[in-house]
Amino acid sequence: MTTTGLQLRSEVRSDNTLQISLVETEFPQPGKDEVLVQVEATPINPSDLALLFGPADMSTARISGTKEQPVITADIPEKLMRMVQGRLGQSLPVGNEGAGRVIAAGESDAAQALLGKTVGMVGGEMYGQYRCVNVFQCLPLEEGTSAAEGASCFVNPMTALGMVETMRMEDHKALVHTAAASNLGQMLNRVCMADGIDLVNIVRKPQQVEILRELGAPYIVNSSSDSFPDDLTEALTKTGATLAFDATGGGKLASQILTSMEAAAVRNMDAYDRYGSNVYKQVYIYGGLDRSPTTLTRNFGFSWGVGGWLLTPFLQRAGLEKVLELRGRVAAEIKTTFASHYTREISLQEVLSAEAMAVYGKQATGEKFLIRPW
């Protein structure tokens, strides 16, 4: 017996176009250690958009299909097709995480224990009306927690905790975070304040400064300010932060952070050294809000690193015991530390509206959409 429902798919086609559509899909009955979940809420995260839109020029998007099953077609520049050859002709489901009610369960005790419960989920393919997942991909939500409250229980909360754990594992004592007024940034602030960790927040608008001030964040610097380099160096001197997580990726921000870290370190040197300080400084790029090349101006000594950071490799490195510990904290604090705030709720059909795509496609800080599939 199968269950049928709508699922959002993204496909790169051989005629240099992207097609996004809602497809009537059959969802199988769960296996021994699986559950079938009726998806009630799923967020649109920046990490979802890379699969949803790919390299398509969404300004060329045109709408066809029906009201219930709209179809979006957009052009992909010829020179960018090589980036997506690996997914050519594949109709790929979208959506990293979500939440809903377990309506069927396999015969294992672990699966049966979730029957009828509201759970958060991870594992992709969440932009749909149903999802069949392994029990380990589920986070049972505490009594009284709604699907909307638990829909963002994985990507942002585990990323925030992963940043703090990376700091500890790599022997740093304080953090720097960019695009810091986002839902993730606000979570990270609450985690750091609860755990007694200094956090330097970098934002680019005065209203974002106010958001973090209201949270009680003590260190906030505005990258659009003329005094940004001095303000950042001062905050780094006070906190001793030598590890940064950069959501922007492109441009010169990573370089500016390393430069200010070095300037703060040099203040504590007893004597001049032409090679700079021996304090190790690290910037991890974990996002791509700025798609321009990453530019480094080498004026921060020789003890530094710039690299990429992703949640999944971190979790593999941390190990099962630590992952379960972090998941337990998320479940217990989903309404407080890890609460997400949404600016708008939309249907699966509205995901494919020109008006909605224009808003969530900008990935603006503070703009977060929640999909309600029913």
CATH numbers and ranges of domains, the chain: 2-153+342-371 (3.90.180.10), 160-314 (3.40.50.720)
Q: Work out the average pLDDT over 199-225.
A: 97
Supply φ then ψ for residue 127, to 5 degrees.
-80, 75
pTM for this model (two decimals): 0.90
**pLDDT-based confidence at residue 270 (cuts at 50, 70, 90):** confident
Helix (DSSP H) and strand (DSSP E) numbers for the chain:
12, 20
Digit-coded pLDDT (tens) for 5-14: 999 999 999 9
Q: What is the mean pLDDT of the chain?
A: 95
Q: In the predicted model, is pLDDT for residue 22 greater than 90?
A: yes
State how far the Cα of 213 lies from the Cα of 278, in Å rounded to an integer: 33
pLDDT at 314: 97
Chain centroid offset of residue 323 CA: 17
**pLDDT-based confidence at residue 181 (cuts at 50, 70, 90):** very high
Digit-coded pLDDT (tens) for 104-152: 999 999 999 999 999 999 999 999 999 999 999 999 999 999 999 999 9
Q: Work out the average pLDDT over 254-261.
A: 98
> Which tokens is 218 given?
């003590």
Percentage of the chain modeled with pLDDT above 90 = 93
Q: Work out the average pLDDT over 180-194.
A: 96
The answer to whether 153 touches 139, Cβ cutoff 8 Å, is yes
User: Of the candidates 364, 374, 323, which has an alpha carbon nearest to the alpha carbon of residue 158?
Assistant: 323
Q: Work out the average pLDDT over 271-278.
A: 89
